[in-house]
């Protein structure tokens, strides 16, 4: 069942007659799934790409390997590239990309602990970027990331401007 913020975001997108697409790494399709469960999914959800492994980021979304090598697959720089490439593929009004660390075993460091999530959202007004550290189980972290994405998009819609 989608959260209240996802439902509210979906309704706002529908009222604007906008669609949305996702490039999902850490959320592995959960974002698309949550939005697909809303009443307005048929009019707003264009699609999504799960790009969990580096291979998919490189081969399908054309993220340069050198970018991943320099900044890691879970970084603001890679997330930005994912969002802009997915926006080209889906030709959507809103395109959200999310990478990060929901469990140990990735590129975590003291500065980038497990729970760190990177967001990059392409909108008609430009792009919104965000980085946040969430806490809890991997599922808790992913659901918090889904809600934060919806919150950011809702602010963009309500203000008619990128953050």
List pLDDT tens digits, range 84-93.
999 999 999 9
What pLDDT sits at residue 108? 87
The chain-wide mean pLDDT, for the chain, equals: 95
Q: What is the pLDDT of residues 58-70, one digit of tens each?
A: 999 999 999 999 9
Global pTM? 0.95
User: If you average pLDDT over residues 77-88, what whole number do you get?
Assistant: 98
CA dihedral 131, 136, 137, 143 (to 10 degrees): -50
The domain spans of the chain are 4-159
Q: What is the pLDDT of residues 34-62, one digit of tens each?
A: 999 999 999 999 999 999 999 999 999 99
Q: What is the 3-state secondary structure (H, E, C) of 50-111?
A: ECCCHHHHHHCCCCCHHHHHHHCCCCHHHHHHHHHHHHHHHCCCEEEEEEECCCCCCCCCCC
4-159 is a CATH 3.90.950.20 domain: yes
Distance CA 48, CA 95 (A): 9
């Amino acid at each position: 069942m989608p959260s209240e913020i996802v439902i509210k975001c979906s309704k706002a997108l529908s009222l604007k007659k906008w669609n949305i697409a996702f490039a999902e790494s850490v959320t592995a399709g959960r974002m698309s799934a949550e939005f697909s469960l809303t009443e307005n999914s048929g009019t707003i959800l264009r699609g999504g790409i799960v790009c969990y492994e580096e291979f998919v980021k490189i081969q399908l979304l054309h993220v340069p390997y050198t970018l991943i090598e320099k900044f890691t697959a879970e970084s603001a720089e890679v997330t930005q590239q994912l969002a802009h490439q997915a926006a080209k593929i889906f030709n959507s009004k809103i395109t959200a990309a999310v990478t990060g660390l929901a469990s140990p075993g990735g590129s975590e460091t003291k500065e980038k602990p497990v729970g760190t999530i990177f967001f990059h959202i392409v909108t008609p007004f430009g792009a919104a970027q965000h980085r946040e550290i969430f806490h809890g189980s991997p599922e808790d972290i992913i659901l918090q990331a889904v809600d934060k994405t919806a919150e950011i998009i809702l602010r963009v819609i309500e203000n008619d401007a990128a953050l």
